[in-house]
Amino acid sequence: MQVLIHKIQSKKARIGVVGLGYVGLPLVIRFCEEGFTVTGFDVDVAKVAAINAGRSYIKHIAGGQLKKFVKRHTLKATADFKTLRSVDAIIICVPTPLNEMREPDLKYVEQTGDIIARHLRPGQLVSLESTTYPGTTDEILLPKFAGRQLKVGKDFFLVFSPEREDPGNKNFSTKTIPKVVGGITPACRKTGEALYSQIIDTVVSVSSTRAAELTKLLENIYRCVNIALVNELKMLADRMNIDIWEVINASSTKPFGFAPFYPGPGLGGHCIPIDPFYLSWKARAYDFTTKFIELAGEVNTSMPYYVVNKVIEALNAQGKSLKGSKVLVLGIAYKKDIDDHRESPSLKLIEILQGKGAAVLYNDPYVPNLKKSRRYAFPLSSVKLTERLLRRVDVVLIATDHSCYDYDWIARQAQLVIDTRNAVKNKKKFAGKVIGA
């Protein structure tokens, strides 16, 4: 343990990051910034080629950062996993989606674990960062590694340290967001602390990998439940003819006991729509039903249908049917000012609208083409946002409130606007053609 910790603290340890997406790539950059030599591993050869050429494929990460480290020979990317043996710390940042039955799909973690097991050598640290249910690290990864007659906490070290990336958030960065670390053994935990303390301002230790795994789920389930609450209140306020955004702003003036959450067309991103299902699935193994969490999931899952019903009602008021109408969806990314559309509610909105016979177009300056995802495969590309387009479509549906949009201009040109994000602040001045949803 001390030998590896000394290598880490002297920055002589070589770092390997498996999975070069929205979680892995920021980690790669942080280690490079602190003077470490880093190898990024990914099965996507296009990502590998881009990094080695100093090109970024993520909006909020500048290509200049990558190019600088590649030129210094402190960063390289590869699809050859045999070189895992040459690194001292291996950080796993692979996807953990749900399958079609909305159950945990850990095939990427398992496949990565099998690859690491084939190349694991004494003196290495392995850290899992992928969001998962309590027990994954010790039930799935540990047997793969210990099965090679290596003793955990002595010959190798295994920790779980959940990612806490928030793309597009200018107030927090990888460096300043505190990092939770839990180890299989105390020696594992101390080694993990030594690693992450080199790149993160604050490292928070917990007693086990299971505690660290549940920490991540609690963080996102907390958001999921509170968003469900405000989404339900939005639907009630709509029936009561009360502006929920005004209510939230007024409640936010209370200096204690209240944290504002905001309604929307549904949940998006890799974590919040998925994490509650991971815990609910695992809870069933303990004969426990997470009723509160599952209810929140039901409310949030219903929001795209609520939004589409608002579109239908608004069109009906104009003597139009949704079938055959042209609908322009503004914003495909799951949150404002980023290019990530994983699990975005906009995708579900498009699916429902198309299923009801609408002709759907979309505009998103950060998502030029819709890539095939686990559940959706739309052959759509972003259309140019013009005055002619806005006047030609029957309804504009604001699904993501990117800062670059001029919402007053959009509202002036459009025949009808359904606003799910309170992006058009003064709806009254548009003579009833801007409707909150």
List the catalytic residues.
271
Tell me the sheet residues that pair with 205.
181
Burial state string for 181-209 with b = 16 or more CB within 10 A and e = fewer than 16: bbbbbebbbbbbbbbbebbbeebebbebb
User: Dihedrals φ, ψ of 401, to 5°?
Assistant: -90, 65
**183 three-class SS:** strand
CA distance 348 to 15: 39
> What is the biggest distance separating any 2 CA atoms in the chain, rounded to whole angstroms?
75
Of 210, 235, 246, 175, the residue nearest 31 (C-alpha): 175
CA distance 87 to 90: 7
User: Dihedrals φ, ψ of 317, to 5°?
Assistant: -65, -20
**Cα–Cα separations (whole angstroms), residue 369 to 54, 379, 382, 437:** 23, 8, 6, 26
| Amino acid found at 317 | A
Q: How many CB atoms lie within 10 A of CB 10?
A: 9
**Cα–Cα separations (whole angstroms), residue 436 to 28, 245, 267, 392, 411:** 41, 10, 17, 21, 12
Is the C-alpha dihedral spanning 129, 118, 191, 141 positive or negative? Answer: positive
Identify whether the C-beta of residue 265 lies closer than 8 Å to the C-beta of residue 420.
yes
- What residues have CB less than 8 Å from 287, skipping those under 6 apart? none
Q: Where is 67: in which H helix or E strand?
A: helix 63-71
| Amino acid found at 94 | V
Is the C-alpha dihedral spanning 226, 27, 97, 47 positive or negative? Answer: positive
First-to-last C-alpha distance (Å) of the chain: 56
| Amino acid found at 111 | Q
CA distance 368 to 332: 10
Provide the token pair at 328: 């322009």
